[in-house]
Amino acid sequence: MRLRLPFSPWHLVLIPLSALMLIPLAWMLITSFQTLSESRHFPPHLLPSGLHWENYPDAWNAAPFGRFFVNSLTVTLASVAGNLVFCSLAGYAFARLHFFGRDVLFVVLLATLMVPFQVTMIPTFLIVKDLGLVNSLGALIAPNLVTPFGIFLLRQFFRTIPIELEEAARMDGCSRLGVLVRIIIPLSLPALATLGIVVFLWTWNDFLWPLIVIASPNESTVQLGLASFQGAHQTNWPLLMAGNVMALAPMLIVFVVAQRYFVQSLASTGLKG
């Protein structure tokens, strides 16, 4: 039997609050279906005169959005994969293996978490330039393949797994790598999912670093492409909003569908963007 909840006066606070959070997105969607002249009208037409779909193909053709998506997806998937592999390896070593210099190394890696990105940004640009990576997707991927945060997260999780499980496998002649792949990883899927989701959100939405190292539209990510799209179509609001909707839709749909996982991941980490 479902409990029927009485009407709560708190709805009177929550409804305006939700409106405040949703109006910006709703207004983006509505404007994307308006004509240019309709958008230049005050007071604004709160409902469009019809569904002017043409803004979408127009926006799609006005900038290489397909290219942007492929680039963003490449960079994001490579970063997620790199983090899952390298942070697992390092996290396991820090959690379980006793090797020379381990604790000092761990503290040094953690200390880099304290340093704002702006401090390392200019020298990293010079390093990437020396490596000949400027204006290539490599410049976006290489510095993002591993994060101290991911190492820390996985190390903490790996330490909660009973050591007896590994010892038995070691007795049977399983290598360290075998233990990691066959025993630790399968038991750590929630932590790996958290890391994957956070790196995904973070890389997909990153703006400042691409802005610095990428100059050509061919290598642009969605965020960078969107910013220059705005620069090129200053006040054509319906076109801009259609582009914005296209750029946002995949992430927002994934987020709403998998909200539970996103929320759990963010709650357990404390990171956005």
Interface pick for another protein out of 109, 192, 195, 239 (rule CB under 8 A): 109
Contact 247, 234 (CB under 8 A): no
Under the binding rule (CB under 8 A), the answer on residue 270 touching another protein is: yes
Find the binding residues for another protein in span 164-223 (CB under 8 A): 176, 201, 204-205, 207-208, 211-212, 222-223
Nearer to another protein, 102 or 182 (CB): 102
Under the binding rule (CB under 8 A), the answer on residue 157 touching another protein is: no
Find the binding residues for another protein in span 222-251 (CB under 8 A): 222-224, 226-227, 230, 237, 240-241, 244, 247-248, 251
- Angle of helix 222-232 versus helix 237-257 axis, rounded to 10: 160
CB atoms within 10 A of CB 89: 16
Minimum distance, C-beta of residue 65 to another protein, in the bound complex (Å):
13
Stretch near another protein under the rule CB under 8 A, chosen from 49-57, 60-68, 157-165, 263-271: 263-271
Stretch near another protein under the rule CB under 8 A, chosen from 59-67, 158-166, 184-192, 262-270: 262-270
199 secondary structure, DSSP code: H
Name the strand (E) or helix (H) holding 272.
Answer: none
Q: Identify the burial level of 108 via C-beta atoms within 10 angstroms of its C-beta, where 0-12 means exposed, 13-18 middle and 19 or more buried.
A: exposed
Residue 209 and residue 23: Cα distance in Å, rounded? 30
Under the binding rule (CB under 8 A), the answer on residue 22 touching another protein is: yes
Say how many residues touch another protein, by CB under 8 A.
Answer: 97
Angle at 104 between CA 83 and CA 177, to 5 degrees: 45
Find the binding residues for another protein in span 58-77 (CB under 8 A): none
CB-side exposure of 258: number of CA atoms within 13 Å? 15
Stretch near another protein under the rule CB under 8 A, chosen from 58-66, 86-94, 156-164, 186-194: 86-94
Q: Return the closest-CA partner of residue 245 out of 107, 4, 37, 65.
A: 65
Nearer to another protein, 74 or 124 (CB): 124
Under the binding rule (CB under 8 A), the answer on residue 261 touching another protein is: no
Find the binding residues for another protein in span 124-153 (CB under 8 A): 124-127, 129, 142-143, 145-146, 148, 151
Minimum distance, C-beta of residue 25 to another protein, in the bound complex (Å):
7
- Residues 6 or more apart from 80 whose CB is under 8 A from it? 196, 199, 200, 203
Residue 130 tokens read as: 């020396």
Angle at 119 between CA 114 and CA 122, to 5 degrees: 145
Minimum distance, C-beta of residue 57 to another protein, in the bound complex (Å):
19
